[in-house]
């Protein structure tokens, strides 16, 4: 029921918070949090305001989506699991590749933040994903960084020295 209520609100253009779900399901906020954590562990994204707008201490939905991609999921599977469009998924993956490319060029977190306009939280999560999947997701990482690197060079007039 929890997932159904959150999905129905999201489909209608709204986002519920955990307190809303607790009231609708006549249960405690703690129970909602526990159930959402269990779903998150199973790879199910509950579209609440905190999840979609990256509010609070949980891992951002962007990071979850990129992790699915690095694990080998296809766009259609990620769309179904997360209820995000292919365009959104591509945008998150492109952002992830920018962070990787800048990090590999020696930029620190604060410089990456200034260049990408991502929050420190998202940058830290992306760098953590990169460290975790650098070897086991090497094919996918190489694919996205190669295509992103070429895009950046084309946008900068062929200069590959900056993003």
Q: What is the DSSP string of 10-59?
A: HHTT--B-HHHHHHHTTS-HHHHHHHHHHHHHTTPPP-BHHHHTT-SSSP
**Residue-range definition of the domain harbouring residue 25:** 1-56
Q: Both 113 and 148 in a single domain?
A: yes
- Please tell me what DSSP assigns to residue 60: P
Q: Which residues contact 46 (CB under 8 A, 6 or more apart)?
A: 2, 3, 6, 36, 39, 40
Q: Both 105 and 156 in a single domain?
A: yes
Taking the alpha carbons of 145, 102, 92, 19 in that order, is the dihedral positive or negative? positive
Q: Which residues contact 162 (CB under 8 A, 6 or more apart)?
A: 152, 156
Domain end, chosen from 34, 56, 78, is at: 56
Structure tokens at 53: 């707008």
pLDDT at site 50: 78
Q: Both 12 and 87 in a single domain?
A: no
Entry pTM: 0.64
Q: Both 75 and 126 in a single domain?
A: yes
The span from the CA of 79 to the CA of 86, in Å, is: 7
Q: Both 77 and 95 in a single domain?
A: yes
Q: Both 162 and 85 in a single domain?
A: yes
pLDDT at site 59: 63
Q: Both 43 and 77 in a single domain?
A: no
pLDDT at site 158: 46
Stretches where the chain sits below pLDDT 50 are 153-162
- How many domains does the chain fold into? 2
Q: Which residues contact 73 (CB under 8 A, 6 or more apart)?
A: 81
What's the number of CA atoms in the CB half-sphere (13 Å) around residue 5?
A: 17
Q: Both 11 and 49 in a single domain?
A: yes
Q: Both 78 and 153 in a single domain?
A: yes
Q: Both 141 and 98 in a single domain?
A: yes
Q: Both 123 and 46 in a single domain?
A: no
Q: Both 51 and 121 in a single domain?
A: no
pLDDT at site 161: 46
């Amino acid at each position: 029921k929890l997932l159904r209520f959150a999905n129905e609100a999201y489909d209608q253009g709204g986002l519920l918070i955990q307190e809303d779900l607790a009231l609708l399901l006549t249960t405690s906020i703690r129970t909602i949090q526990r159930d959402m954590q269990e779903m998150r562990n199973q790879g199910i994204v509950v579209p609440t305001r905190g999840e979609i707008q990256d509010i609070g201490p949980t891992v951002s939905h962007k990071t979850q989506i990129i992790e699915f991609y690095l694990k080998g999921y296809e766009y259609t599977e990620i769309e179904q699991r997360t209820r995000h469009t292919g365009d959104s998924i591509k945008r998150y993956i492109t952002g992830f590749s920018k962070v990787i490319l800048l990090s590999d060029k020696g930029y620190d977190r604060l410089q990456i933040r200034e260049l990408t306009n991502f929050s420190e939280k998202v940058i830290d999560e992306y760098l953590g994903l990169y460290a975790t999947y650098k070897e086991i997701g090497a094919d996918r990482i190489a694919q996205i960084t190669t295509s992103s690197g070429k895009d950046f060079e084309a946008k900068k007039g062929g200069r590959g020295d900056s993003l």
